[in-house]
Structures are given as structure tokens and as C-alpha cells.
Amino acid sequence: MDNRRENALPSLTLGSLWENIWRISWPMFLIMVFSFFVGLADVYVAGFIGPEVQAAVGFVSQFYFLVTIVANAISIGTLVLISRAIGSGDNHKAIDVARQSLIFSVLVAVGITAVCLLFYREIISFAGFPGRIREIAEKFLRIFALSLGPNYILIISNAIFRASGEVKKPLFTMFLVSLINIAGDFVLVFGLPPFPKMGYVGIALSTAASLTTGMVINLFLFTVGWWRSLYSERWHVSSDTIARIFRLGWPAAMLQIAWNAGTIILYNILGRLGEASITAMASITNGLRIEAVIYLPAFALNMTASVLVGQNLGAGRADRAERAGWKISQVGMVFISLMAVVIFIWAEHFASLVTRDPSVVAETTRYLRFNMLSEPFMAMSAILGGGLQGAGDTKGTMWVIIVAMWFIRLPLAYAFALALGYGATGVWVAMITSMAFQGTLMAIRFRHGNWKKLHVE
């Protein structure tokens, strides 16, 4: 107990809410920025080798994202239970949940890794790649599969630190992970001494090395400070705790699956526009890439809301948890609206940065100007959704996203673009309409307040 007093966690249930919001949000924002540049570096370096490598990197990255959805879901359940436990002062329970989350993530990662290593040829063949690209993608997938375990442990350990308010620890880890990954892309691909030239394999190896390093750093950070008793007690599997983590996490996985599947359907609708389909599909790809800059602060604040709401509910301070959610959403809406205004005004300039084709520039500009109108609602949805998840209302958040995507966005996109003949513009209108509904529904659910009474045990 003396060690815990000496290494007391930062309190997020007392003091100024604005100070707590700032303490959590700026490191989370930087972590999102680091991840953004890692993805950019992978694609950029692949472009120097050839388009077939870019295609393979793109596919394997998307597949890798799908298999890490489970880790992200586990991290949501972990955050809910640990933040509640810390807020209530039950340190033993927080440490037990952390231990079970790490065990659960390793078991899942081992299973998925085995599947990828056994069936990598079938997985790549299913994507329909031609011979040369298939060979590249198979090598990527095998290397990425071996790094899946370290990545799962990294994701879960970051969530544990985040739930306790120790966000500078994952900030330090992810800075080094990003630095190793980006530097490794150039050093291993092009063979800067003393490293040999490895070509496209270097991209996969730099990712694997960076994730493994991040895992090792986080496991070491558990040996110092508040979490050191994580290793001092016997490790065993608690089916009850794992079941609670799963119960809270699976809706988060379904949410991501529903959103990504809906986006694929949206591409399918754009692909039916005849001669205009290529321009439309290129434009949404470019637009989403530019919009990703706006998503960075939105999802950083999403995670901030999760932690603050969870800890304050654990401390029995439901009113403070609600105030935190609204304050964070207000900050996010103002900041993201200012970013949206900049992109709206200079939409054509931003579009020209990612494409040179005049027709794609024009359609990407139109996409941006339509979708910038919905960014305040996107911010509200992301941030209040984070607050609801932190409270354990993961099913509610899931249903809001599913309704907005599958019952509003996709039917309207089909009706406007194909049935009424408005083409790509009809899809853009459907997107902003559904986002307005999504943000409003999320705010209504948060305002209703049933999440304050949820029992997550």
C-alpha cells in the first residue's frame, strides 16, 4: 500500500474538469497523429517500389484492421471496468481486470495468428489478386500475423494506462513505436548501412519490430509505479471477469464491423454510376483521406470522454460525469467546426493535393464542401459516443451507429444516387443527412441519462 501511495494515480474525479480534460486529451491527440503518420509512411515508401506493393500494403492493412477489431473491443471492455474500479477506489479489482484482459488478448491473438499462418494463401486468394501481387501480399500477411500478439498486448496495455489516467505512458510508447516504424520503412526497404536492402519485406518487418518494441516497453512500465503488483500475484484465468469484458466489448466490435461493411456498400452504390463511377469512387477515397485529419482530434476527445465518464461514475459522481461529457463535446464541436471551415473554404486546394485529374478534383471538392457541413454532428457523435462507452452503454452506441448507417445513410444513398438519378451528389447528401441524425441520436441518448444507472459488474 505504501508503494501505491507514493505512486498515486492522477485523480480525474476531483478538481477542475477543464484541467482534467486537457490532461487526458492532448496526449491522446498526439498518439492519433503518430498513428496517422505511420500509415502515411507505409503507403509512401511502398509507392517508391511499385503500385503492386501499394496494393498489397493497402489490402493487408485493411485485413489487419479487421483482425484487430477484436483487440479494440477488448480494450473498450477493459477501459470500462478499470476506470470504474479506479474511480471507486477498488485498486485490487482494477489490477485483476488488467491481468484478465492481457490473458484474454493473448488467447485471442494466438488463435487468429494460427488461422492466418495456416490459411494465408486462401485469405490472399479470396481477395482475387493477380500472381505477383499475391506473392507480395502473402509475405506481408505472414509477417503481420507474427506481430499480431505483440499488437494485441500493446493495444490492451495502452487501454489499461488510459483507463487509469496515465496517458503519458502510452504517449511515450507510441512515439517510439511510430519512430521505429517510420525510420524502419526507409532503413530496411532501401538498405541504409548497417542494414541490408530488403525491399518491400522491410515495410512489414519495420511494423513488426515497432509493435514488438512497444509491447516490451509497456510490459516494463507495468513493473514500476502503481501497476507493479500486476506481476506479484499469481496469474490465472477468471472466466467471470473475461465474460464481463466480452459482454462490454462485443458491441464495440459489431459497431466497427457495421460501419466498415456499410462503407463497402457505399462504394458499391458509387460503382453503379456508369461512366461517373470511377471519378466518384476516387473522390470519396480522397475525401476520406483528407477528412482523416479532422477525425484525429475527434477520436482523441472520444477516448478522453470514455475515461472521465468511467472514473467519475465509479466514484459515484454521475452529475460530474455528465458535465464532463457535455464539456468535452462542446470543445470538440467548436474546434472541429473551425477545422471544417478551413477545409470548406480551401476545398479545391486540398483536393488538388491528392489528385491531378480535373474531374476528380472537382468531385472531391464537392464531397468536401458537402461533408464539412456535418462535421459538428460527427464530433458530437464521436465524443458523446465515447462517454456512453465509458459508462458501459456499448450496446446503445452500437445501435445508434447501425441505425444511422444501415437505416438512413445506405437507403438514402441508393434512392438519391440511383433511383432519383442525382449520382455522387446524392450519396454526399445521404452522408451528411445520416451524420446529422447520428449526432442527434447520440446526444439524445446521452441526455436521457440511463447510462448513469448501468451496472457493469
Q: How far apart are CA 457 and CA 183, in angstroms?
A: 44
Q: What average pLDDT does the structure give for the chain?
A: 90
> Any idea which residue has 461533408 for its cell?
371
**314-326 b/e (C-beta count within 10 Å ≥ 16 → b):** bbebbebbbebbb
Please report the pLDDT score of residue 6 as a whole number. 42
Long-range contacts of 138-142 (CB under 8 A, 24+ apart): 139/200, 139/201, 139/204, 140/56, 140/57, 140/60, 140/200, 140/203, 140/204, 141/60, 141/63, 141/116, 142/116, 142/117
Please report the pLDDT score of residue 132 as a whole number. 67
Q: How far apart are CA 172 and CA 167, in angstroms?
A: 9
Flag whether pLDDT at 341 surpasses 90: yes
Closest CA to 256 of 62, 33, 450, 448: 62
Rounded to two decimals, the pTM is 0.89
Please report the pLDDT score of residue 3 as a whole number. 42
Lowest mean pLDDT among 13-27, 38-52, 100-114: 38-52
Flag whether pLDDT at 200 surpasses 90: no
- Going by pLDDT thresholds of 50, 70 and 90, the confidence category of residue 45 is confident
Closest CA to 288 of 232, 341, 225, 354: 354
Task: Report pLDDT digits (tens) over 293-304.
Answer: 999 999 999 999
Task: Report pLDDT digits (tens) over 77-136.
Answer: 999 999 999 999 898 999 999 999 999 999 999 999 999 899 888 877 776 666 667 787
| CB 137, CB 165: distance < 8 Å | no
First to last CA, the chain: 25
Please report the pLDDT score of residue 131 as a whole number. 67
Q: How far apart are CA 439 and CA 376, in angstroms?
A: 8
Flag whether pLDDT at 309 surpasses 60: yes
Q: How far apart are CA 296 and CA 288, in angstroms?
A: 12
- Going by pLDDT thresholds of 50, 70 and 90, the confidence category of residue 1 is very low
Q: Measuring CA to CA, how many Å separate 49 from each of 36, 42, 183, 200, 360?
A: 21, 11, 16, 7, 25
Task: Say which residues have a Cβ less than 8 Å from residue 385's Cβ, sequence separation at least 6.
Answer: 302, 397, 400, 401, 442
Q: How far apart are CA 182 and CA 440, in angstroms?
A: 39
Q: Measuring CA to CA, how many Å separate 355 from each of 55, 218, 273, 286, 360?
A: 17, 40, 20, 8, 7
Closest CA to 321 of 339, 299, 306, 341: 306
Q: What is the mean predicted confidence (pLDDT) over 323-327?
A: 96
| CB 27, CB 170: distance < 8 Å | yes
Flag whether pLDDT at 330 surpasses 90: yes
- Going by pLDDT thresholds of 50, 70 and 90, the confidence category of residue 353 is confident
Please report the pLDDT score of residue 54 as a whole number. 67
Q: How far apart are CA 367 and CA 399, in angstroms?
A: 26
Please report the pLDDT score of residue 419 as a whole number. 95
Q: H helices within 147-236, ranges in order?
A: 148-163, 168-190, 201-221
